Structure 1
Amino acid sequence: MKKTAIILGATGLTGSILLDLLLKDTRYEKIKLFSRSSVDISNPKIEEHLIDLFELEKHKKDFQADEVFCCIGTTKAKTPDNETYRKIDYGIPFSAAKLCKEKNINTYIVISAMGANPDSKVFYNKTKGEMERDVIKQNIQNTFILQPGLISGERDEKRLGESIAKFFFNILNPIIPKKYRSISPETIAKSMVVIANQGFSHTRIENQIIKEIAKNA
C-alpha cells in the first residue's frame, strides 16, 4: 500500500531536496505540504496547504498521513527576536508532534541540531533541546530526531556568519573529528527517507550516523 507523507518546511534547503526525493519515490502516492508559500511545482502527488504554521493546530482536519517530516528551522541572523525564534524552532515542531499523536501518525522525523540541550546556557542549543525533550514526551511510536552539524549548501538569503563558518569548515574538515564535520542537505534528506522506510535503533541520530544512513539510500 502506497503512503502519504507530510512535509513541514518544503520550501527550505533540506525540505526542498526531501520533496524531490519523495516525488520520485514510488512508495509515496501523496505528499502534503504545509507552509506559508508555494513550492511552485506542478505534480499530481503534491497537495499544498498554504497556512500560518504558527496556527498549525487549526488545520488538524487535513493533517493526516503515514509519516511526517519536519524540516523547519531558522537562524538568529534571520530571526533576531528570541520570542519569534522560539515559536519557529520549538513551537512548530512541537505542535506537529502533538498532532501526530492526536491523529495516530506513527512516524515523526524532525531535524534538530548538534549540541541540543535543554539545560544549555546558549539560547539556540537550549531551544533545540527543549524541542527534542517535549517531542519525545509525545510518545509517538517511531520518533526520530536528527542532530546534524553545520549544514553546507547555498540558501536564497545571505547569511554572512554561516558563510564564514562554512568557509573555515571546508578548509578544516579533513582534520576535524568526523562527528563535527559539516553535512550536506542532500545527505540529511536521503537519511530521512531511509529512516522513514527502514526505521532505526535510536531516537536521536547524530551527525556522523546520519551520513552512514544516507549511504543506504
Structure 2
Amino acid sequence: MNDKTAIVIGATGLVGSEVLNLLLEDERYSKVHVFHRRTTGQSHPKLEEHIVNFSQIDEWKHLIKGDELYSALGTTIKKAGGQERQYTIDYTYQYETAKAAAGNGAQKFALVSSLGANPESRAFYPRLKGELDEAVQELPFEVISILRPSILEGNRQESRPLEQLGILFTKVITKFPGLSNYRPIPAKTVARALIYSLNKCTPGTHIFEGEDIFHLS
C-alpha cells in the first residue's frame, strides 16, 4: 500500500521528530497528520498539523483518522511538575489518542515505551510505562508494535546534563557480557524501527526491547 495516512503524536520530541521526518520522506505515505500542542515549525505538502488541547480530546478526536498511529508523546517528572501530571501526559493522553484512532478505523499502532516497563514495578516510571503497554494491547488494532529502548541519544531542545552522564556511563558498562540491552540508542534508530515494524510485522502484538531495536531498524 503506497497511499497511506500516518498519524503522529509527540512530533516535536526526540523520537517523534525523527518519525515525522522519516514519514515525510517515505513514498509509502501520502499524508501525515500531526496532533500536538504547538507547531512543529515544518512545512511540507504531506503534512497537516492540528494544534490541540489533549485534555479536551472529545473536541477533536473525530479528526484522528489514518492507517497508522505513531505515539511518541512523553515528558520528564521535572518538566511535568510532578508524578500526577507526568502520568496524565505519558499515559492518559497517549491511551486516549490510541483509543480514538482505533475507533476511527486505524489498523496499526506503534508506541515508544521504555526498557524495564512493568505494571508491577514499585518504581513510578517503569510502572507507568508498563501500565500503558498493557492497556493499549486491549485496543482493536490489527498490528501493535511496542518498542522499549534504553536511554536515548539525540539533540534535545533542552539541556539534560545528568542524562548525558548516564549515556557515557552506560556506554562503558554495556561492553560487559549480558548488558547489551542497556546500550544507548539513537532516536533516529528508534524512529526507523517504529516505521519498519508497522510495515513488516504480522498481525498481533510485537514487543521489542533494547538491543532488538537495533536489529529491527
- The letter of the residue matching 2:64 is F
TM-score (norm 1): 0.93
Deviations 1:166-201 (A, max 9, x none): 121233333362212111101100011111211157
Structure 2 unaligned segments of length 5 or more: list them: none
Deviation at 1:95, TM superposition (A): 0.6
Aligned to 1:190: 192
Answer yes or no: is the 8 Å Cα contact 1:6–1:67 preserved in 2.
yes
- The letter of the residue matching 2:190 is I
Answer yes or no: is the 8 Å Cα contact 1:100–1:140 preserved in 2.
no
Partners of 2:173 and 2:155 in 1: CA distance: 19
Find the residue that maps to 2:166 and give its secondary structure.
helix
Aligned to 1:203: 206
Deviation at 1:207, TM superposition (A): 1.4
Answer yes or no: is the 8 Å Cα contact 1:57–1:95 preserved in 2.
no
Deviations 1:51-77 (A, max 9, x none): 112323421221110000001111123
Partners of 2:41 and 2:153 in 1: CA distance: 24
TM-score (norm 2): 0.93
- The letter of the residue matching 1:204 is I
Partners of 1:139 and 1:103 in 2: CA distance: 11
The 5 A counterparts of 1:52-201 are 52-175=53-176, 177-199=179-201
Aligned to 1:17: 18
- The letter of the residue matching 1:86 is Y
Moved more, 28-37 or 97-106: 97-106
Aligned to 1:41: 42
Find the residue that maps to 1:29 and give its secondary structure.
strand
Find the residue that maps to 1:96 and give its secondary structure.
helix
Answer yes or no: is the 8 Å Cα contact 1:54–1:88 preserved in 2.
no
Deviation at 1:202, TM superposition (A): 4.8
Answer yes or no: is the 8 Å Cα contact 2:69–2:110 preserved in 1.
yes
Deviations 1:103-138 (A, max 9, x none): 121101010101111111100011111111111122
Find the residue that maps to 1:22 and give its secondary structure.
helix
Structure 1 unaligned segments of length 5 or more: list them: none
Partners of 2:80 and 2:176 in 1: CA distance: 32
Root-mean-square deviation over aligned CA pairs: 1.5
Find the residue that maps to 2:175 and give its secondary structure.
helix
Moved more, 169-178 or 10-19: 169-178
Partners of 1:154 and 1:33 in 2: CA distance: 21
Answer yes or no: is the 8 Å Cα contact 2:66–2:105 preserved in 1.
no
Moved more, 100-109 or 24-33: 100-109
Partners of 1:150 and 1:134 in 2: CA distance: 23
